[in-house]
Amino acid sequence: MSIAPRLSSHAVHGHDAGPRLAKELAAAATRPSLVLVAVTESIDLAAVLADIQQATTPDTRVVGTTSSGGLFTEAGLFRSPAAGALCWTGGTFDDFGTACAALDPDASARAVARDVAERACNDAGHPSETPELVILLSTPGRE
């Protein structure tokens, strides 16, 4: 019997949004396999990612990005300062891998993409496989 995957989103407003978001995730009944974190420009992304990693299990993949001005969720707009998370929990296909690359203007975009995809597949425990889903978090204009 497989468990159907579940998506949930969380968002909080205020300068202490990061620690409160981590606390909210820690209190959740289920533990996500993947957490996509977004913070507005006045929130320290690295600190929020560290808080989220401490609030989740060691095998939870946590990645983050920044947003300018606010975050949209199904609950509406959370204006800056704000932090939010989209969580994927359970399901048969929850082998997530993550990888990151620096934005180098002299690098071949194709080579960087190939390298990042290969490292993410290795991280997921599926080396040499073609990913079924790719989520790209990038600086606008560098996608």
Confidence of residue 1 (pLDDT cuts 50, 70, 90): very low
Q: Which two tokens stand for residue 8?
A: 């949930």
Q: Please compute the mean of the pLDDT values over residues 59-83 and round it to a whole number.
A: 89
What pLDDT, on a 0 to 100 scale, did the predictor assign at position 3? 56
What pLDDT, on a 0 to 100 scale, did the predictor assign at position 141? 64
Give the C-alpha separation, 105 to 93, whole Å.
35
Confidence of residue 92 (pLDDT cuts 50, 70, 90): low
Confidence of residue 35 (pLDDT cuts 50, 70, 90): very high
What pLDDT, on a 0 to 100 scale, did the predictor assign at position 30? 81
Is the pLDDT assigned to residue 4 strictly greater than 70? Answer: no
Query: What integer best gives the mean pLDDT of the chain?
Result: 86
More confident residue, 18 or 4: 18
Is the pLDDT assigned to residue 89 strictly greater than 90? Answer: no
What pLDDT, on a 0 to 100 scale, did the predictor assign at position 142? 62
